[in-house]
Amino acid sequence: MRERKMFLSVEDIAVILDLSVSKTYKIVKSLNEDLKSKKYMPIAGRIPIRYLEDRIYGLEHAEQYLED
């Protein structure tokens, strides 16, 4: 069984979002700034997968599964 990654690289995020790597660097930069504002220490070039999922899907998406 393959272990799930905890962090995604810029290249991984580019594939997920179907964007170029250069555009993804700009997105990752803003995500890192958001992480810093929440008192997290970002790792250069890596984004926690849980944080990215929360940003993409949001709490509203998760709440629909809690109601079932």
Q: What's the number of domains the chain is made of?
A: 1
Q: Is 21 inside a domain boundary?
A: yes
59 within a domain of the structure (yes/no)? yes
Handedness of CA 53, 56, 59, 61 (dihedral sign): negative
Per the domain annotation, does 2 fall within a domain?
no
Instruction: Identify whether 62 is part of a domain.
Output: yes
Question: Which of 3-7, 15-19, 31-35, 46-50 bottoms out in mean pLDDT, i.e. has the lowest?
Answer: 3-7
Average pLDDT, the chain: 81
Cβ atoms within 10 Å, residue 63: 9
Does any domain span residue 31?
A: yes
Cα 35 vs. chain centroid, distance in angstroms? 10
**pLDDT, tens digit (0-9, with 9 covering 90-100), for 11-36:** 998 998 899 999 989 888 888 898 89
Contact 10, 28 (CB under 8 A): yes
14 Cβ partners below 8 Å, 6+ apart?
A: 20, 21, 23, 24
pTM, rounded to two decimals? 0.69
Domain that holds residue 31: 7-67
